[in-house]
Amino acid sequence: MGYKIGLKIFRKRLGLSQDEIAEKLDCVKTTYQSWENGRREPSIDIINKLFVLGAKVEELFGIEYNEIHHLIPKYTDENFENKVLSKIENLEKKINEITISKK
């Protein structure tokens, strides 16, 4: 699932129309529509505003646990939490790199 589907899912979860979410993002409806329809990509500033509104990375970019669980080995040692957090941090860095490179 790409970000364009994620935008629509997020908007619907909030119960907002395209006009309403565009207003919250300080843009015009046609600009928002172009993101939701995949004709343009939102800037990092808009993505940050979506996070402030409560969007989740998984929701916007379609990353679900069942798609990444195989990337996180089942650790049984005391460093389990740190290892998982490190993998999540690396995924977030990759997402940021992709977002920045598309500016």
Domain edges within the chain: 3-101
Is the model's pLDDT at 46 over the cut of 80? yes
Is the model's pLDDT at 17 over the cut of 90? yes
Is the model's pLDDT at 32 over the cut of 70? yes
Contact between residue 16 and residue 24 where contact means Cβ atoms under 8 Å apart: yes
- Poorest-confidence range of 6-10, 26-30, 43-47, 54-58? 54-58
Is the model's pLDDT at 76 over the cut of 60? no
Q: Which residues contact 84 (CB under 8 A, 6 or more apart)?
A: 72, 75
Place of tokens 């990092």: 44
* Mean pLDDT to the nearest integer, 36-52: 88
d(CA 72, CA 65): 10
More confident residue, 15 or 95: 15
- Report domain 3-101's class: mainly alpha
Torsion from C-alpha of 8, 57, 62, 100, nearest 10 degrees: 90
Contact between residue 59 and residue 6 where contact means Cβ atoms under 8 Å apart: yes
Please, what is the angle between helix 29-36 and helix 3-14, to 10°? 120
Q: What is the pTM of this model?
A: 0.59
* Mean pLDDT to the nearest integer, 16-38: 94
Task: Say if residue 47 is exposed, middle or buried (CB neighbours under 10 Å; 0-12, 13-18, 19+).
Answer: buried
pLDDT-derived band at 25, boundaries 50, 70, 90: very high
Number of C-beta neighbours around residue 21 at 10 A: 22
Is the model's pLDDT at 9 over the cut of 80? yes
